[in-house]
Amino acid sequence: MTHPISDVLSALSRNSQHVASVYDSEAQAMGDLPKAAVTGLRGASALLAAGEDSWRLHPHLRDYLQDHLQVFPAYQALADLGALVTQLAALQEEAELAANARDFDSMREQHNRLTGVIYDTHHFIEKNLRMLTAMLSVKYGAVGSLHAKAAQNRWYQKAAGDMSSSLNRLSKLANRLEQEADDRGWDIAKLWRLQIIRPLTEWHTRLADIQSVLRQEQYRLREVSVNLRNLSRVDAFFSQHPGWSGLEAEPPEQLPDVLLRAPGLRLRVNLDPQDDDPQVRPALEEAARHTPTKIVVRTPEPARRVRPIRDEPQAAEQPNAYQALLRAFMLSVMQAGQPVSVLQWARAPAAAAVLRPPAGTAVRPGSWLMFVVCALNGRTVRIQGKPVRFEVEEVSNPPAPGALFVQSFRDALVRVKP
């Protein structure tokens, strides 16, 4: 089963070109449309007779198409609320007459129509206000000149004025009809309250705001045209009167601010830094004191990345054979309590037990003797935490025959110096 509106939509679709031409021409002459298109569109209630010889689109269809196209021509006509208000009054009157005659079918029919018109009225008032607001925001559509803009302002001012009087009429009518419907116990009273009476205050406010903006705009444009006229007149006057320099008359008693604009003070630093006048110097110093300190902005340096340097673990140094022997020798001297011969100590079996030269090393007697003499003669050595001073006495070789002095020694005696 197809929906009832399917036929309507298909009729509009079949005759879309004709709908468009009627939409464009406001009213189409009857002879311009084919008979089939007229039949189809009339069947869908899309076409209404306008007078005796032309067709018009159904107002709601035209309204819908305009909404869809969002057309903002320079001079938009608002929906006529006056006709709707008259229709509302007539329908309610008919409903009351039908009720008085106890013709309830007719009364219900009038109620249904009244409901539709109340919803339509609400819709068209909202739409008018929306459109006026939209027009204000686009400065009522683009026009080419100041003159056209002023005419456009007057157009919308008149439209807003008409709408305001319609709203006043509607306000009085709605209150009366709502009261009557309420007295009769009709549900339509609730509709009056919800759809018309409650939003009326807001509608009045919005319309008053729009009218106020329009008045301001009209005033502004009047001012603009006066300014530009003055500009052109003065320009022409200057070119026609090259000798005129200004007004010679005395200024009026009440001077306007425009003539009292003060000249600039030419603010400049008025100090000569080379002047050594005793009165100027303190002023210079004072000025210097009040000079703001130059703020040095230091750019923060990037944080330095510190990498700890760790010494590679080194292998323990192999003890020198002479050093190991010297340490053992020093301990022996300290324990002996008397001078100890360096070479004899090295040759003794006890020393051999103490002495353990590392593998691959050897001690030669002559080198050992020189090493001990150089290492211990007059030196203080820290052994087991205590400083110990050693004394070395060389055992000289016998002098060569005929020589007075000895140049070499064959051993040394070492003891701890008390």
Residues binding other proteins (CB under 8 A): 144-147, 220, 224, 226-228, 230-235, 237-238, 241, 244-251, 255-267
Minimum CB–partner distance for residue 216 and other proteins (Å) = 10
For residue 319, the one-letter residue type is P
Q: How far is the CB of 240 from other proteins (least distance, A)?
A: 9
Residues 6 or more apart whose Cβ sits within 8 Å of residue 320? 361
Question: Do 41 and 16 contact (CB within 8 A), yes or no?
Answer: no
CB closer to other proteins, 70 vs 245? 245
Min separation Cβ 262 and other proteins, Å: 4
Cα dist. 262→50, 265, 297 in Å?
Answer: 69, 9, 40
Cα(305)–Cα(413) distance, rounded to whole angstroms? 60
Q: Minimum CB separation from other proteins for residue 217, in Å? A: 12
Is 262 or 359 the residue whose CB approaches other proteins more closely? Answer: 262
3-state class of 221 per DSSP? helix
Nearer Cβ to other proteins, position 227 or 380?
A: 227
* CB 294 to other proteins: min, Å: 19
CA angle 191, 192, 193 (to 5 degrees): 90
Q: How far is the CB of 218 from other proteins (least distance, A)?
A: 14
In 3D, which of 381, 400, 398 has the Cα closest to residue 390?
381
Nearer of residues 228 and 406 to other proteins, judged by Cβ: 228
Q: Which is nearer to other proteins, 104 or 238 (CB)?
A: 238
105/250 with CB nearer other proteins: 250
Q: Shortest distance, CB of residue 213 to other proteins, whole angstroms?
A: 15
Cβ proximity to other proteins, 246 vs 302, nearer residue = 246
Sheet of strand 340-341: strand arrangement: 340-341, 409-416, 386-396, 380-383
Smallest CA-to-CA distance from 142 within 193, 220, 52, 72 is with 72
Residue type, 146: L
Q: How far apart are CA 11 and CA 7, in angstroms?
A: 6
Least separation in angstroms between residue 211's CB and other proteins is 20
Beta carbons of 333 and 340 less than 8 angstroms apart: yes
Residue 16: both structure tokens together: 């879309």
CA distances, 173 to each of 83, 99, 169, 302 (Å): 13, 20, 6, 82
324/346 Cα distance (integer angstroms): 12
Residue number, 147 or 172, with CB nearest to other proteins: 147
Helix axes of 16-25 and 59-69: crossing angle, nearest 10 degrees:
90
Q: Is the CB of 52 or the CB of 250 nearer to other proteins?
A: 250
> In the bound complex, what is the minimum distance in angstroms from residue 36's beta carbon to other proteins?
49
Question: End-to-end alpha-carbon separation of the chain, Å?
Answer: 136
In the complex, least distance from residue 303 CB atom to other proteins, rounded to whole angstroms: 34
Nearer to other proteins, 68 or 266 (CB): 266
Q: Which residues pair with 393 in a beta bridge?
A: 413
- Are the CB atoms for 206 and 148 separated by under 8 Å? no
